[in-house]
């Protein structure tokens, strides 16, 4: 072989070897990122149906007599509190009268709170949370046009023992009344004993 062809043969062999290696080499697969499938929106259960109304547990009490079955008469409650029960001449006494509409759907109309003090008491002050005062001598009255269920009226009277009492003890009696018939008269009046040593 002519020496001038040797380089050409070498180039051809090199090219052939390069082609063999290029075609026989394993080509790596391009990297493919594997992603999880997109999340599905959550399936929520349907809204529960609204609860059924609870049946009343109270047993209605049958009422006798006429009148509307949708309303019941009022029940006025009267409470009398004294700041002291033993008094001497010159002592002050605070009397608190509490009137409440405690039961019944019907309002109490033309309500009158009443208290009569003994003649030897002198009224120093009187106030009420609701209503109009009427004071005549030792008689105290509070007039209220209407009381609804849950209403409360607090009346406070301060009196002084002006003269020595004629008795060793006596009872102060207060009351409440209205033009609407009351369902319970037992709690419309209250007396408190006062002692004079």
Confidence bin at 3 (pLDDT 50/70/90): low
Question: Is there a domain that residue 99 lies in?
Answer: yes
What integer is the mean pLDDT of 155-170? Answer: 88
Question: Is there a domain that residue 41 lies in?
Answer: no
Residue 107 belongs to domain with CATH number: 2.60.40.1510
- Domain span at 100: 75-195
Confidence bin at 67 (pLDDT 50/70/90): very low
pTM, rounded to two decimals: 0.64
* Phi/psi-derived region of residue 120, left when phi > 0, alpha when psi is between -120 and 50, beta in every other case: alpha
Whether the CB-CB separation of 112 and 141 falls below 8 Å is answered with: yes
Q: What's the domain count of the chain?
A: 1
Q: What share of the chain has pLDDT > 90, as a percent?
A: 53
Question: Is there a domain that residue 6 lies in?
Answer: no
Question: Is there a domain that residue 53 lies in?
Answer: no
Is residue 54 over pLDDT 50? no
Helices marked H in 35-145: none
Question: Is there a domain that residue 135 lies in?
Answer: yes
Q: How far apart are CA 42 and CA 27, in angstroms?
A: 43
Question: Is there a domain that residue 112 lies in?
Answer: yes
User: pLDDT by residue (tens digit) across 169-197?
Assistant: 889 999 999 999 999 999 999 999 999 88
């Amino acid at each position: 072989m002519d020496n001038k062809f040797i380089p050409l043969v070498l180039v051809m062999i090199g090219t052939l070897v390069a082609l063999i290696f290029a075609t026989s080499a394993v080509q790596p697969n391009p990297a493919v990122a594997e992603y999880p499938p997109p999340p599905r929106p959550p399936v929520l259960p349907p809204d529960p149906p609204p609860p059924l109304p609870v049946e009343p547990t109270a047993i209605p009490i049958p009422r006798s007599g006429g009148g509307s079955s949708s309303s019941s008469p009022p029940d006025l409650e009267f409470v009398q509190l004294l700041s002291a029960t033993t008094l001497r001449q010159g002592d002050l006494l605070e009397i608190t009268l509490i009137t409440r509409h405690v039961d019944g759907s019907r309002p109490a109309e033309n309500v009158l709170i009443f208290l009569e003090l003994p003649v030897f008491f002198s009224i120093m002050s009187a106030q009420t949370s609701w209503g109009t005062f009427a004071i005549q001598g030792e008689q105290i009255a509070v007039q209220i046009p209407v009381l609804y269920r849950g209403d409360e009226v607090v009346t406070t009277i301060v009196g002084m023992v002006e003269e020595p009492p004629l008795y060793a003890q006596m009872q102060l009696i207060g009351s409440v009344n209205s033009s609407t018939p009351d369902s319970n008269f037992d709690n419309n009046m209250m007396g408190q004993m006062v002692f004079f040593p």
